[in-house]
């Protein structure tokens, strides 16, 4: 299974499992031009119905910002690393 599929599956599990509401979930991802990942609360992520390759950031911007799953670097649960991308693959 490709890493992109792994993170898509994990984010969908978090999205649909009500148990995760009890925890602080954060997602780290790389943006072009930045050296360090951006880390945001899971609540700031929106999933598209037709786009299965990326998620959208909830922002005040008129144009949506789509983040491809292959840019996700880390997922944290209550500040502890839950998932980390192997960027060497």
pTM to 2 decimal places: 0.86
Q: Tokens representing 3?
A: 């890493």
**Which has the closest alpha carbon to 27: 88, 81, 86, 89?**
81
Radius of gyration from C-alpha coordinates of the chain: 13
Among 17-21, 22-26, 84-88, where is mean pLDDT lowest? 84-88
41-80 per-residue burial string, b: 16 or more CB within 10 A, e: under 16? ebeebeeeeeeeebbebeeeeeeeeebebbbbbbbbeeee
* Segments in the chain forming alpha helices (H): 3-16
Range with the lowest mean pLDDT among 11-20, 33-42, 73-82? 11-20
Instruction: Give pLDDT, residue 84.
Output: 94
pLDDT (mean) for 25-50 = 92
User: Does the pLDDT of residue 34 top 70, yes or no?
Assistant: yes
Residue 4: the pLDDT is 64
Structure tokens at 33: 């031009």
Average pLDDT over residues 49-78: 89
């Amino acid at each position: 299974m490709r890493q992109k599929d792994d993170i898509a599956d994990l984010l969908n599990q978090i999205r649909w499992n009500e148990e995760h509401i009890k925890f602080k979930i954060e997602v780290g991802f790389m943006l072009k031009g930045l050296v360090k990942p951006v880390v945001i609360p899971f609540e700031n992520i929106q999933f598209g119905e037709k786009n299965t390759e990326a998620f959208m950031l909830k922002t005040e911007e008129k144009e949506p910002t789509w983040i491809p799953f292959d840019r996700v670097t880390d997922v944290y649960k209550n500040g502890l690393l839950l998932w980390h991308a192997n960027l060497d693959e």
